[in-house]
Amino acid sequence: MEPVWRPPMLSSSPHLRPLTCNPPATRSCLPSPLNLGAPADTLYIELYGTGIRGAASIQVYAGGQSIPVLYAGPATFAGLDQVDISIPTSLAGTGDIRVYLVADGTTSNVVGLNVQ
């Protein structure tokens, strides 16, 4: 089964906020800018999809870089999978980047993020 994502969430303890907005007039999803903060800060992203939990190999790519997977497994709802990553500070200021996941050789759809 091919992984399918819903919009990722920005994890900022103690709150989660969606990374996309849907302006009613444009009927499109636009990435909200992400500020990586100070060099010592860590920005965590939660990706959600299906068909991921049974994969023996999971890789995530952001801005052309391989990103370490911090967690991959079941989410809170039956059938929903969660993959947690952190965005490296080396991507600060890159603007629009593409994020995608490869699970056992199957590539997910692409999610766009805007990194300040």
pLDDT for position 3: 44
pLDDT for position 33: 81
pTM of the model: 0.76
Range(s) of the domain holding residue 22: 4-115
pLDDT for position 21: 56
pLDDT(34) > 60:
yes
pLDDT for position 2: 42
Q: What is the mean pLDDT of residues 16-29?
A: 58
Q: What's the domain count of the chain? A: 1
Instruction: Give dist(CA 63, CA 31) in Å, integer.
Output: 14
pLDDT(13) > 60:
no
pLDDT single digits (tens) 38-92: 888 888 888 989 989 889 999 999 999 999 999 999 998 888 999 999 999 889 9
pLDDT for position 113: 87
pLDDT for position 4: 44
Nearest to 62 by CA among 96, 25, 19, 16: 96
CATH of the domain at 57: 2.60.40
* Rounded (5°) CA angle 50-89-18: 40
